[in-house]
């Protein structure tokens, strides 16, 4: 049986049931082709047949005829319980979403003349954010003539990075952006692994 170039991988995908085949699929009477290549629930090829015969076969087996490879000539259709398939897929997608971890960037703002106690409060906030798996954007806001001493800002940001060095890495070195100096800290890999995805 000779299949044209790009059709064969699509056919294998349809037979194996692999891949994501839910993007606006045509089901049963929505299928427009006159002839279709039919695959049963176990992935066995039943051959090419008129659409009416394929629909009749699906009805006899109390299944749906689903067009899984519309680009193929003729299109590939699979016999399946489409409602059950959609339900299982939505369950899989929900599970995958639960396992995803969105990394946010939390900001900690500092001033050049910050008191030691205030610095520790900010450093503890940064530490908490990092332990939660978020990145920290540390910003020093220069006021007036403070901007002529950017080295003092670097010292302060280095002090903050030193305070959280066990749980973070410097993703972006301190850099002057207008009247602010910004540094980005990221949680170390082992800190990320400790976090449960659903937290």
105 has a pLDDT exceeding 80: yes
> Which residues fall within 8 angstroms of residue 110, CB to CB, at 6 or more apart?
119, 122, 138, 139, 140, 141, 156, 157, 160
CB atoms within 10 A of CB 181: 23
Reading the block at residue 197, the tokens are 């995805």
What is the pLDDT confidence band of residue 41, given thresholds at 50, 70 and 90?
confident
Per-residue CA distances from 172 to 64, 124, 187, 189, 193 (Å): 54, 20, 13, 16, 22
Protein fold of 105-194: Translation Initiation Factor IF3 (3.30.110)
Segment 103-129 mean pLDDT: 91
Strands 76-80 and 45-50: unpaired
Q: For the segment 132-154, what is each residue's pLDDT rounded down to a tens digit?
A: 889 999 999 888 888 888 899 99
- Tell me which range, 1-10, 24-33, 51-60, 101-110, is most confidently predicted by mean pLDDT: 51-60
Query: What confidence score (pLDDT) does residue 192 get?
Result: 62
Residue showing tokens 């990394």: 103
Domain boundaries, the chain: 7-98, 105-194
Q: Which CATH superfamily is domain 7-98 in?
A: Translation initiation factor 3 (IF-3), N-terminal domain (3.10.20.80)
3-state secondary structure of 172: strand
Query: What confidence score (pLDDT) does residue 191 get?
Result: 62
């Amino acid at each position: 049986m000779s299949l044209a170039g790009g059709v064969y991988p699509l056919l294998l995908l349809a037979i194996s049931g692999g891949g994501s085949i839910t993007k606006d699929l045509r089901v049963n009477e929505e299928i427009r082709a006159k002839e279709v290549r039919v695959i049963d629930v176990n992935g066995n090829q039943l051959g090419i047949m008129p659409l009416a015969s394929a629909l009749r076969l699906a009805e006899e087996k109390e299944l749906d005829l689903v067009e899984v490879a519309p680009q193929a000539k003729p299109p590939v259709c699979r016999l399946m319980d489409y409602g059950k398939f959609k339900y299982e897929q939505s369950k899989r997608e929900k599970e995958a979403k639960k396992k995803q971890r969105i990394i946010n960037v939390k900001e900690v703002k500092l001033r050049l003349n910050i008191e030691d106690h205030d610095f520790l409060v900010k450093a503890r906030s940064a530490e908490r954010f990092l332990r939660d798996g978020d990145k920290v954007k540390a910003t020093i806001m220069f006021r007036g003539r403070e901007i002529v001493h950017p080295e003092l800002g670097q010292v302060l940001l280095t002090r903050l990075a030193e305070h959280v060095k066990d749980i973070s890495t410097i993703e972006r070195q301190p850099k002057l952006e207008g009247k602010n100096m910004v540094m980005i800290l990221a949680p170390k890999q082992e800190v990320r692994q400790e976090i449960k995805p659903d937290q």
